[in-house]
C-alpha cells in the first residue's frame, strides 16, 4: 500500500487541457439557465444561502479534517480527501436537488456563489487544512503549490464560463432556452466519457488501489451529506431548503479536483483515486438519496 504515495497516473498535458475545456462547457451549460433575478430572491432572504455556503466551505472541511485525524490514511489519500472537500459543489447537484423535491433555485444559487468564492476559499482550505496535518503538509511543501495559480485555474475554468453564460442568457434568452437541455446533457455525457477513458488508461492502477479508498470516500460522502442536513436543521430551515443544502454539501466538484491534482500535484496516485472514486460515488449516493426523498414527498 505504501506505493500509492509515490505513483502518478498517466495523464498527458493535452488531456488536462481537454478536461479543463470540458469542465468549462459543463459550467457554461448551467450558467445559461441563470438570471440576475435568481440572486435577487436570495438577496432579500439570504439565510438559506449563507447557511449552505457555511456548510460547504466550513463544516465539510472541518469534518474532513476530523476524519483524517481519526482514520490517518496514507498522506496522498488524506490530501485527496482534503482537496475534494475544498472544492465547490458539483454540477449535478442542481439536477439531483430537483429530483429530490428540494429548492432548486437555492441549489443553483449555491453552485454559482460557491464557484465564485472558490477562487479564494478553495486554495485557502487546501493550504489551511492540508498544512495542519503533518503528512499532508510535507506533500504541500514538496509541490510548493501557489494559491494564486490555483485561484487563476478555478477562475478560468468555472467563473469565466459562469459569467459568459449568464450574459448570454441575459442578452439572448431565446437562444439559451434552446441550448440549455441539449448542451447540459451533451457536456455531462462527454465529461463522464472522458473520465472513463482516463480511468481505462490507468485501469490496473485504479483497480489495485480503489479498494483502499472506497470505504473512506463512502464515509466521507456520508459525513458531507450528514453535515449539510445537520447544519440546515440546527438553523431551522424548511425541509425544502434543507434538501438543497444537504445535497449541495454532499455533491462535490470532483472534476475540478482532478484538474488541480494533475495540474499542481503531478497526478499523485492517492489523490487522483480519491477524486475519481468521489466522482462516481457521489452521483450514486445523491441519486439514491433523491429517490428516497422524492418517495417520501409523494407519500405525503
Q: Which three cell numbers stand for residue 106?
A: 437555492
201 within a domain of the structure (yes/no): yes
Of the candidates 23, 1, 54, 12, which has an alpha carbon nearest to the alpha carbon of residue 231?
Answer: 54
pLDDT by position in tens, the chain (length 300): 446 555 555 555 566 677 677 777 777 877 787 777 766 766 777 899 999 999 999 999 999 999 999 999 999 899 999 999 999 887 778 778 888 888 887 888 888 888 888 888 998 999 999 999 999 998 888 876 677 777 877 777 777 888 888 888 888 888 887 877 777 677 767 767 766 666 666 666 666 677 778 899 999 999 999 999 999 999 999 999 999 999 999 999 887 888 888 878 877 778 888 888 888 888 889 889 988 988 876 555
Whether 299 maps to a domain, the answer reads no
Does some domain include residue 215? yes
Domain total of the chain: 1
What's residue 1's pLDDT?
A: 43
- Which CATH number belongs to the domain containing residue 257 in this structure? 1.20.1530.20
Position 75 in a domain: yes
Domain containing 264 equals 2-6+13-294
Closest to 283 (Cα-Cα) out of 257, 254, 261, 244: 254
- The answer to whether the Cα torsion of 139, 63, 96, 49 is positive or negative is negative
H or E, element range at 90: none
pTM beyond cutoff 0.95: no
Q: How far apart are CA 251 and CA 249, in angstroms?
A: 6
Instruction: Assess if residue 42 is contained within a domain.
Output: yes
Question: 268: helix, coil or strand?
Answer: strand
Amino acid at each position: 500500500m505504501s506505493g500509492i504515495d509515490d505513483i502518478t497516473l498517466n495523464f498527458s498535458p493535452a488531456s488536462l487541457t481537454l478536461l479543463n475545456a470540458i469542465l468549462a462547457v459543463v459550467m457554461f451549460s448551467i450558467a445559461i439557465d441563470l438570471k440576475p433575478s435568481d440572486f435577487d430572491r436570495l438577496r432579500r432572504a439570504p439565510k438559506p444561502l449563507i447557511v449552505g455556503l457555511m456548510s460547504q466551505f466550513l463544516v465539510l472541511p472541518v469534518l474532513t479534517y476530523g476524519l483524517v485525524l481519526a482514520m490517518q490514511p496514507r498522506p496522498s489519500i488524506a490530501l485527496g480527501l482534503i482537496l475534494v472537500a475544498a472544492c465547490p459543489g458539483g454540477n449535478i447537484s442542481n439536477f439531483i436537488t430537483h429530483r429530490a423535491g428540494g429548492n432548486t433555485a437555492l441549489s443553483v444559487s449555491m453552485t454559482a456563489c460557491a464557484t465564485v468564492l472558490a477562487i479564494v476559499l478553495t486554495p485557502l482550505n487546501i493550504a489551511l487544512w492540508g498544512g495542519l496535518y503533518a503528512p499532508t503538509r510535507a506533500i504541500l511543501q514538496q509541490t510548493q503549490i501557489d494559491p494564486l495559480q490555483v485561484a487563476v485555474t478555478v477562475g478560468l475554468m468555472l467563473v469565466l464560463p459562469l459569467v459568459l453564460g449568464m450574459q448570454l442568457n441575459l442578452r439572448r434568452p431565446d437562444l439559451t432556452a434552446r441550448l440549455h437541455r441539449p448542451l447540459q446533457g451533451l457536456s455531462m455525457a462527454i465529461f463522464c466519457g472522458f473520465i472513463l477513458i482516463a480511468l481505462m488508461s490507468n485501469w490496473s492502477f485504479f483497480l489495485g488501489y480503489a479498494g483502499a479508498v472506497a470505504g473512506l470516500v463512502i464515509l466521507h460522502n456520508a459525513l458531507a451529506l450528514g453535515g449539510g442536513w445537520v447544519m440546515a436543521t440546527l438553523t431551522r430551515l424548511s425541509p425544502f431548503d434543507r434538501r438543497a443544502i444537504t445535497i449541495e454539501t454532499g455533491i462535490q466538484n470532483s472534476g475540478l479536483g482532478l484538474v488541480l491534482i494533475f495540474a499542481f500535484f503531478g497526478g499523485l496516485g492517492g489523490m487522483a483515486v480519491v477524486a475519481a472514486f468521489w466522482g462516481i460515488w457521489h452521483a450514486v449516493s445523491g441519486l439514491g438519496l433523491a429517490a428516497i426523498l422524492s418517495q417520501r414527498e409523494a407519500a405525503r
